[in-house]
Structure 1
Amino acid sequence: MQMKRHLKAILASAAALATLSACATVPRAGPAEVTRFVAPAATAQLGQGTIFIETAPGLGNSGMEMAAYKAAVARELAAQGYRETSRAEADQVAQVSLERVVNEPLTGRRGPVSVGVGGSTGSYGSGVGVGVGINLGGGGPKDVVTTRLGVMIRDKAAGTSLWEGRAGFFADTRNDLAQPARSADALADALFEGFPGRDGETIEVDLPE
């Protein structure tokens, strides 16, 4: 009986060491790369009033995954002073876009490494794009997920863009931050850090472990 207990203790220790070793080999995610564009004279309109949150036009994202990102954006907008309401009652509209790309190092297949944000060649409001480059290195042969979250805040009555932002990062598929629920919170938090931010500035924001 004593030998059996001793054997169980050895097996338990080995399992614990294996778990620790597996955790230690998973690279950290991020940091998130964040770019914001602020329309001239829009600062007074940002962070107040009513807002409606919707999926950006032309996107096929739907279901639980997109819902997680929209919910995370809603929490951040509320923290900035907005009150979420129906589209009919809203003064402003936040359009949320999402892109998730899996890079497969062993097969050589990879998704795009940049995505359009803000205005063409650095100008504001065209929606065409300054590329935000995301390093897909990540280290090691495991698959890497790159996730990009974009938000455009518009004046509902005028239809003009008041603010645009895009945040993206890469994570090993074994990392918890590769999962939609975790990445939604992390990206929304990074995107609205220091809101509204400086027009055209790109910053890096460390992600939680």
Structure 2
Amino acid sequence: MAYYQIFPAMLLSLTGLSGCVATVPPVEVTRFHNATSEQIVPGSISIERVQLEGTSLNLEQASYSAAVMRELQRIGFTDQGAEGDQSIYITRVTVEQNRFSPGARRSPVSVGVGGSTGSYGSGVGVGIGINLAGKPKDRVATELSVRIFRRSDGQAIWEGRSQVEAKAGSPAAQPGLAASKLAEALFRDFPGESGTTIRVP
């Protein structure tokens, strides 16, 4: 009898623990725009479809595109839906994942809008210590890149990239959990300070 009383309590505690483990690390965000000279006025927008090879890649792209659209609607843009070719703005969503060993150096990425260009790196320090648990697991860097264009002249008015790093195989390295976090961080305080890299917890 006691076993049936204890088991649900243990299951509940493990469920709560798994929720804590699935948290996403801080996100690095960099944005570029010319909002100081030309105000960005929200309007109808459509997401440009990117053709990817492989079913899993297409599913991942769809999850990130949906997360981006939710954030765009939150800040005042309207989803043009089936009549996307009539929208005022077009947005291009790109997702990239890179797997690397702890301590490996990665090249900075450059982005620019309207001729102004900037670059940013990971900004993550590497600690040195004695590891008694064996070889550290590889890490996965997931980067969400979004560019917003004006349809009338094809001019890019805003672009940004958000990136998160997590251990390979962890929930935070999976697209389902990372998509919402990366999109939310990217559009926080839109349009954001141009050319500045921030960390969003």
Query: TM-score, normalized by length of structure 2?
Result: 0.75
Question: Residue 88 of structure 2 corresponds to which residue in structure 1?
Answer: 91
1:101 to 98, 105, 108: 98
**Identity percentage of aligned residues:** 34
1:137, CA displacement in angstroms?
5.1
Equivalent residue runs for 1:4-15 within 5 Å: none
2:141 to 138, 143, 146: 146
Equivalent residue runs for 1:1-209 within 5 Å: 29-40=24-35, 44-46=39-41, 48-55=42-49, 62-85=57-80, 86-105=83-102, 113-119=106-112, 124-126=113-115, 130-133=119-122, 135=124, 141-206=136-201
1:133, CA displacement in angstroms?
2.0
For structure 1, the 5+ residue unaligned runs are none
1:88, CA displacement in angstroms?
1.5
SS in 2 for 1:158: coil
Structure 1 moving runs of 4+ over 4 Å: 26-29, 40-43, 58-62, 126-129, 136-140
After superposition, the Cα gap between the structure-2 partners of 1:167 and 1:127, relative to the gap in structure 1 and judged at 3 Å, is farther
Kindly provide the amino acid, as one letter, of the partner of residue 131 in structure 1: Y
SS in 2 for 1:45: coil
For structure 2, the 5+ residue unaligned runs are none
The CA distance in 1 between the partners of 2:53 and 2:34, in whole Å, is 27
After superposition, the Cα gap between the structure-2 partners of 1:115 and 1:30, relative to the gap in structure 1 and judged at 3 Å, is farther
The CA distance in 2 between the partners of 1:55 and 1:128, in whole Å, is 25
Query: TM-score, normalized by length of structure 1?
Result: 0.72
SS in 2 for 1:72: helix
The CA distance in 1 between the partners of 2:125 and 2:52, in whole Å, is 24
1:90, CA displacement in angstroms?
0.6
After superposition, the Cα gap between the structure-2 partners of 1:50 and 1:27, relative to the gap in structure 1 and judged at 3 Å, is closer
SS in 1 for 2:192: coil
